Structure formats: C-alpha cells, structure tokens
C-alpha cells in the first residue's frame, strides 16, 4: 500500500492519476460505502452517493492541501454528499427530512441488502430519531470505530463536543430502545 502522501502526489500527477485513482477507490470504497449507507440507509442510494463522492474527490484532488488526512477529507465529502442527497430527496418529494428518514426506515426491511433482524431495525429507528450531528457522531464512533480525533477532523468540531454528542446519542438510543 502506498503511503498517503505518495498517493496524493500520484493523484495530482496527470501521468499517474488514473492508476492512483484505482488504488484510492480500492482502498476506500468499502469504508466510504458503509459510512454513506448509514446516512442514506438504502443500498442503491448509497451506491449513487458513493459514485458522486468519488467524482467530487477526482475533480477536487488538486485543491487538497494535506491539512487533514486524505480519508478524513474524503469522509467529509462523503458526509456532505449524503446529507445533500437526503435534502434534495426531501425537497423533490415535498416532505421533511424526518419523513424521508421514516420512509427509508420503512423500506429498509424490504431491502435485499439489509441483513439485520428486528433488533437491528429498532436500533436503526433509534439512530434515525437522533439530531443530525448526534447521528453522524454515533455512526462514526459506534459502527466505524473511528477515534474522536478522526471524527473531529471529518466534522470539523472539537473532541469535547464530539464526546458530549456521542454520550447524548447513546443515552437517547438507550431510552428509545427501552421504550419500544
């Protein structure tokens, strides 16, 4: 595996860009897919958002300054793309983003790519009930096992704020599951 700095250099060099981009996709597609999937819930939507994310990364790599890690930068793009996708979807349907989340949750059980049971569905409903930031922090910490410092880079917020958001999210999820 290439060092991140070498990969970035190759991505910015027109003579090595194509091959480097293949390496980038192979390295990050699965992690980014699951990050996006936890936001948009639907497999086909996640695939579309993932494709848009990689297109944006490809077009924007020249502007990557290296102030953060490459994957943090890509996660930020993926997060923004997924949230934008949900906003556009709610506008097109003329409903709130909460109603879109409820529709997605209702269709999750029928999704052939969803392998969870009733407990997983309850957990997804609990997560969907959280405010956006808490939802993102919970998913990144709980499912992706990212460190607070990494999440801080991705979401551009303080570690202390993230710890508070995660704690509140966990308490709300616990209360939601006890209620059900």
Question: Could you give the CA distance from residue 76 to residue 157 in angstroms, rounded to a whole number?
Answer: 12
- Whether residue 172 contacts residue 129, with contact meaning beta carbons closer than 8 Å, is answered with yes
pLDDT in tens, 1-37: 568 889 999 999 999 999 999 999 999 999 999 999 9
The pTM score is 0.80
CA 165 to the chain's CA centroid: 17
Distance CA 170, CA 115 (A): 23
**% helix / strand / coil in the chain, to the nearest 5?**
80, 0, 20
Confidence category of residue 77, pLDDT binned at 50, 70, 90: very high
For 141, the token pair is 């910490």
The residue assigned the tokens 């009733």 is 118
pLDDT at 11: 93
């Amino acid at each position: 595996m290439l060092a991140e700095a070498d990969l970035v250099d190759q991505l910015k060099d027109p003579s090595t860009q194509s091959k480097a981009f293949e390496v980038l996709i192979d390295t990050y597609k699965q992690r980014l897919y699951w990050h996006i999937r936890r936001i948009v819930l639907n497999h086909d939507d996640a695939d579309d958002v993932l494709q848009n994310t990689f297109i944006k990364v490809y077009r924007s790599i020249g502007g990557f300054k290296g102030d953060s890690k490459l994957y943090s930068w890509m996660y930020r793009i993926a997060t923004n793309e997924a949230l934008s996708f949900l906003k556009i979807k709610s506008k097109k349907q003329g409903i709130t983003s909460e109603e879109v989340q409820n529709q997605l949750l209702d269709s999750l059980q029928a999704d052939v790519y969803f392998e969870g049971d009733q407990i997983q569905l309850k957990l997804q409903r609990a997560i969907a009930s959280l405010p956006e930031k808490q939802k993102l922090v919970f998913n990144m910490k709980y499912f992706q096992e990212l460190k607070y410092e990494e999440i801080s880079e991705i979401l551009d917020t303080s570690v202390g704020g993230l710890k508070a958001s995660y704690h509140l999210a966990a308490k709300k999820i616990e209360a939601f599951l006890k209620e059900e």
